[in-house]
Structure 1
């Protein structure tokens, strides 16, 4: 029996055959730990892994959560998201998200991304700070989404990473997909999706490097995965080797400093610093920048003291 037909008969009825085919094509269904194909014939004894969560059906509440609005007009807004703020509600997080704040702040929001993610055009990880754009109507949302898809939006990040980069600038062009070892993580895998990150060194410290990065593609955890794969994980990153695993490589003096820095930076040191796009209505270029948050500024100050 074909893989898609088999799964149609075995998975919950809420998951349609069309959805199953999309999951297969996106690499979220594995057969014996390898990406499956829609027309693939399956055999008894094969292990099929499906990466899918049934849609969460929350009741959305508006909440008066302060927002750092960098730019706003009648059609969209750009926000400097603080670390620790989840973008949209999910299981266990029905309130206290950016969506709840947007519902309070805005009279209208797009529903192009579904009724439970109003206004959300793209996302940032919970502990990643920086710029995020939200749309107030569907036509604006669709235009922004196309700009992301066609790589017309310029997104740049600052990342503090472990170690010293061999080159002052470069491209990381490595495919990314679900990790075969831990399905909750992503990794560089041969059959992954094309992923391109460009970087340049901004500032060099004794055992850490401050990078500016430009995303040419928008894969989940792309910067964190790429840098971890190069053995330069983002400082503080608990999922991709950015906390204590590198401490053993340091001398005592630097180990003490690293421990102090980690006590301040309790998250990955990743910040969406700048965002430029074409305004869907006016056609003007909108360029925004977001200042670093206090924890990031503090660790950079401590590192610069050491360099002085």
Structure 2
């Protein structure tokens, strides 16, 4: 989404009377998030009748006209950080890592440090591919912050271009494990449909009938947990933003713990013990793990394939569903 700058005006409508100032501006200025607007207000960049307004919680009144000065965004270059990496493979051309849940792949607003890029800059020093640009050196694909699992980054420009071509041609083996609500029927299938920005929530993606990008997911039920939930293998033909999360939700089986696309379903687990319910309902990230990544090395032509086990939090979740948790 392009950034905006300059002086903008927002007039308060009758429908917005009594709304918080930061909420009004966020809803009126599509290219500015609420997290971006709050600092502008506190820095005196928002004014009413030429007087600065510095309280984001101020209640606006119908007819008021606020002036917002948006300076050009200045993005700092990511700094190398000594962050431990779980490295599965590395040579002079590429590096394959097992990314933990909670780690952002590349710096962006609100996450300028602690990312995979920061860690790679420290570990690889000057050998990281620059094709991705200053903010995303070596990054040819990504997995969501709260998704765990295997991913690859390029250390040389030749590897970067070669990997990008493989991803573009869908010539990459990618399998994910997901834990979803409900019993899947049929137990295996193919989900197709364009994915684009949700018109009702700019933070979400959605299946769309116009625009968007084509997306294809193959799924297979591996284990049914008393019809409450299921362990599913998802294989990607494409790699759209939030693809599995959107596709599984679209067929009525959203991922457990997904804070953006579903809510805890207490009624479904009411028959389980209190301890098992607590583990399941308190799981606070999407239950999604990038288990397998396979591809032909873009420089050596050697076939590579990597598989990583579930992290401990997903193992605890599965045990809770299976009734094998010690406290059950």
TM class, shorter-length = 0.7 to 0.9
Return the TM-score normalized by structure 2: 0.74
Structure 2 residue runs of 5 or longer lacking an equivalent are: 7-27, 34-71
Change (3 A) 1:251 1:149: closer
Give the Å deviation of 1:235. 0.6
Give per-residue Cα distances to partners, 1:73-121, cap 9 Å, x unaligned.
1110111000000111112222111111111111310111111111111
> Which of 105, 111, 114 matches 2:123?
105
2:220 corresponds to which residue? 200
- Residue equivalent to 1:301: 319
1:136 to 139, 142, 155: 155
Q: Deviations over 1:59-81 (max 9, x none)?
A: 32111111001111111011100
- Equivalent in the alignment of 1:161: 180
Residue 219 of structure 1 and its aligned partner are, at CA, apart by 0.7
CA contact 1:177–1:193 (8 Å) conserved in 2: yes
1:115 maps to 2:149: no
Question: Which of 257, 268, 271 is the matching residue for 1:253?
Answer: 271
Q: Secondary structure at the match of 2:184?
A: coil
1:235 paired residue number: 256
Q: Deviations over 1:257-306 (max 9, x none)?
A: 3442232x221100000000110111111100111111001111222226
2: CA distance, partners of 1:255 / 1:304:
12
Q: Distance in 2 between matches of 1:234 and 1:63?
A: 32
Q: Deviations over 1:234-254 (max 9, x none)?
A: 01001001x32x323x26224
Q: Deviations over 1:217-236 (max 9, x none)?
A: 11100000011111100010
How far apart, in 1, do the equivalents of 2:288 and 2:113 lie?
24
CA gap of 1:55–1:155, structure 2 versus 1, over 3 A, is farther
Moved over 4 A (4+): 48-56
Query: Is 1:213 the equivalent of 2:234?
Result: yes
Q: Is 1:94 paired with 2:132?
A: no
Give the distance between the partners of 1:232 and 1:196, measured in 2 at CA: 16
- Structure 1 distance, partners of 2:248, 2:277, is 19
Q: From the superposition, tell whether residues 69 and 140 of structure 1 become closer, same or farther in structure 2 (CA, over 3 Å).
A: same
Name the CA distance, whole Å, in 2 between partners of 1:55 and 1:162: 41
- Is 1:75 equivalent to 2:73 in the alignment? no
Q: Partners of 1:302 and 1:230 in 2: how far apart?
A: 24
Does 2:241 correspond to 1:223? no
Cα gap change, 1:136/1:251 in structure 2, threshold over 3 Å: closer, same or farther? closer
So what's the TM-score if we normalise by structure 1?
A: 0.79
Contact 1:247 1:255 in 2 (8 A): no
Within a 5 Å distance, the mapping from 1:256-267 to structure 2 comes to 256=274, 257-263=276-282, 265-267=283-285
Alignment size in residue pairs: 262
- Once the two structures are superposed, residues 117-169 of structure 1 have per-residue CA deviations (whole angstroms, 9 ceiling, x without a partner) of 11111111110000110000111101101100100001100000000001121
Q: Which has the larger radius of gyration?
A: 2
Instruction: Indicate if the aligned counterparts of 2:158 and 2:299 stay in contact, CA closer than 8 A.
Output: no
Q: Residues 252 and 301 from structure 1, CA distance in 2 versus in 1: closer, same or farther, beyond 3 angstroms? A: closer
Question: Cα distance 1:64–1:153, how it changes in 2: closer, same or farther (>3 A)?
Answer: same
* Helix, strand or coil at the partner of 1:253: coil
Instruction: Kindly state the Cα deviation for residue 210 of structure 1 after the two structures are TM-superposed.
Output: 0.2
Report the Cα distance in structure 2 between the residues aligned to 1:60 and 1:230, rounded to whole angstroms: 39
Other structure's SS at 2:178 match = strand
| Alignment check: 8 A CA contact 1:140 1:280 kept | yes
Instruction: Tell me if the contact between 2:162 and 2:299 (Cα under 8 Å) persists in the aligned partners.
Output: no
